[in-house]
Amino acid sequence: MDKDKYIGRLLDGRYEILEVLGVGGMAVVYKARCHRLNRLVAIKILKDEFSKDEEFRRRFQAESQAVAMLSHPNIVSVYDVSTSEDGDHIVMELIDGISLKQYMEKKGVLNWKETLHFAMQIAKALEHAHSRGLVHRDIKPHNVMVLKNGSVKVTDFGIAQVTTKSSTVTKEALGSVHYISPEQAKGGRVDNRSDLYSLGIVMYEMIAGRVPYDGDTPVSVAIQHINGGAQKPSTFNPNTPLALEQIIMKALQLAPKDRYPNATAMLYDMDEFRKDPTKVFPEAAGDGEAEGRPVTTDRKTGVVPSATRTIAQRTAMERTGKVRTTPRRDEEERGRGATVAIVTCAVVGVIAIIIFFVILAQGGLFGGKDRIQVPDLRGMDYDSLGQIDGIVVVRQSSEHDPSYAKGQIISQEPAPGDWVVSGTKVFVTVSLGGEVPVKTMEDLTGYTADDAALFLRGLDMELDVKRYSVNSDTVEAGKVVSTEPAQGQTITKGQTVELYVSIGPAVVTKRVPNVVGQNVEAALRSFELVGFKNVVPKEVESDLPKGTVVEQSAKENTLVDVSRKIILSVSMGPAEPDPTEPTEPQEVTVVYHFPLPEHTEPILLSILSGDEWIVEDEEVPAGDNSYKVTLTGTGSREYHIYVDGEYIDTVTVEFV
């Protein structure tokens, strides 16, 4: 596999790319180190195949501008946005945690407290984003990170869009099909309430352990979203509190106008339920009539307008009797109410008569040609059912049940004996047999990741094996550091097993000291004190004294991985002379006193050596019998003495 071209690069002169964290539809997310602030970050870089596509670049840049507007504890922070020759990229905080999807896979069905805890934080993040005009459009557990302290952060605004009055999906329904709203599935207009629908799906999955709509193809799931009719979460988890179920089902209404008008209203009901888990909201229509308007109260009366009241607000008003208090209009209101009641009763009566005659025309009120009674499928073998007149049997889940043999139907919805329209789908749960097979987890540490996965598949337990990269100072890269479940713990059929695979030691960077000119031993100590572990001296020719550092391979004051190899070029010292080669004699300096003849008068002295006059017409006082000269030369040399222009004598000087 070719190495990623960004690994090891330094973007914008400060972000060193370390490894790939994940790959999305438009971009790749990398782990990187900011050398300026010495911290780890996540960097999202637009994929190469889209870098020349102006439409994709526009969407990517729109994301950058959108997320830069957000600042909330439940939204991943954006540190920097850059469009340069290195590529369009966003620098974000690096989250130390796992996705909500991974958390759910690990824990299974969540209790109502955890469900509410996570849901309220997601809703607060959406409330902030919506207040900035931003619709996420891809809310799903994969895009929610769970930190070690239990808080969550919403991430990946990769398909988010700043809303306008004409915001529509013109190409395709975006987002993950199990979580998209009906309007997204139809390619219709998307607004804040679409995010609340997706949040409702996430809450449903947390409390029920499954999504409300599933199928063999994305298209079949999308059609279910469009048709609606999700079963209540309590169908799958009887411990679901009624009020929480009401909140979820309100968020999942087909028509946006029937959902919560905004995240603030949804948070209000969540908080009411949090304060009183036993409460039950009254069933009432019109909760979504606000069309996205914020929840406000009338300034004069303090009453919340009916179109924007939450379930909880209407309950509180009924409890306290808060009504309009204008006496002059009481009689008028009573008269109008009576008129409305009469008209309503008349309309209902007409509709009832029409329905009666339609049913009668179709063959009677009960047992007509288009209505059938659901047969009891429990105990039947699902694979041997064949076609059953009037209903479509759909396998929705499987579970172990010692009361039923493998393949037999355990339960069904609608229930046996219910009257349904011909062609209705009957959802069944199929037995996987008796007790869940259990085995003990082996010690897989030190195995390569591929060998460990191969071993687990060989257990015939239908295990879902997932791999995660971790740093390790002791385990070789590519080998298993630990597993979850750990050695000795039990594993059951179909369980998720996590392999934590070493990617080598964590990257630690330090500033490189300047050791040029130092003795090699002192230089090595300097690097050791800073924390560098792989500094190697290498001898080179140099006129500098032996052992002196001439050059270092890492530039001084730069941040470098402490495990990186750094070479110090060390002088071998000046070259030794070759005893076999002739050497030039060394010049010697001597002081020589040239003898002079006796004279009673001053004389003019000249001394000649070869072609060079050492002394020329120098006056010597009367009576001096010698003349001192400093000479430099090698071997022996002759000097000729002249007095008053006449040759007097020749003297040989030895330079020793």
Q: Hey, how many other C-beta atoms are within 10 angstroms of the C-beta on 457?
A: 12
The residue behind tokens 């507007």 is 69
Contacts of 286 (CB under 8 A, 6+ apart): 306, 307
Q: Hey, how many other C-beta atoms are within 10 angstroms of the C-beta on 25?
A: 12
3-class secondary-structure state, position 537: strand
Give the CA radius of gyration of the chain: 45
Using alpha carbons, select from 317, 324, 245 the residue that is nearest to residue 277.
245
Please return the burial class of 88, using the count of CB atoms within 10 Å of its CB with bins 0-12, 13-18 and 19+.
buried
SS (H, E, C) 369-398: CCEEECCCCCCCEHHHCCCCCCEEEEEEEE
Report the distance separating Cα 51 and Cα 49, nearest Å.
6
Using alpha carbons, select from 134, 212, 146 the residue that is nearest to residue 180.
212
3-class secondary-structure state, position 23: strand
Amino acid present at 265:
A
What beta strand segments (E) does 477-596 contain? 480-484, 490-492, 496-502, 509-511, 535-540, 549-552, 559-561, 566-571, 588-595
Q: Is 138 a catalytic residue?
A: yes
Report the distance separating Cα 468 and Cα 367, nearest Å.
58
Q: What are phi and psi of 42, to 5 degrees?
A: -110, 135
CA dihedral 322, 324, 330, 335 (to 10 degrees): -90
Residue 526 tokens read as 């300097």
CA dihedral 406, 408, 413, 415 (to 10 degrees): -140
Contacts of 264 (CB under 8 A, 6+ apart): 127, 294, 295
Side-chain-facing half-sphere of 19: CA atoms under 13 Å: 13
End-to-end CA distance of the chain: 76
Contacts of 399 (CB under 8 A, 6+ apart): 410, 429, 431, 432
Residue 191 tokens read as 């607004």
DSSP 338-371: HHHHHHHHHHHHHHHHHHHHHHHHTT-SSS-TTE
Residue 49 tokens read as 């195949």
- Using the CB atoms, write b or e for 26-52: b if 16+ within 10 Å: bbbbbbbbbbeeeeebbbbbbbeebee
Amino acid present at 316:
A
Report the distance separating Cα 174 and Cα 168, nearest Å.
11
Strand-strand pairing, 409-413 and 603-609? unpaired
The packing angle between helices 192-208 and 112-131, to 10°, is 170
Amino acid present at 592:
Y
The residue behind tokens 């959406």 is 126
Using alpha carbons, select from 46, 50, 16, 47 the residue that is nearest to residue 31.
16
Out of 138, 195, 287, 561, the active site residue is 138
Catalytic residues: 138
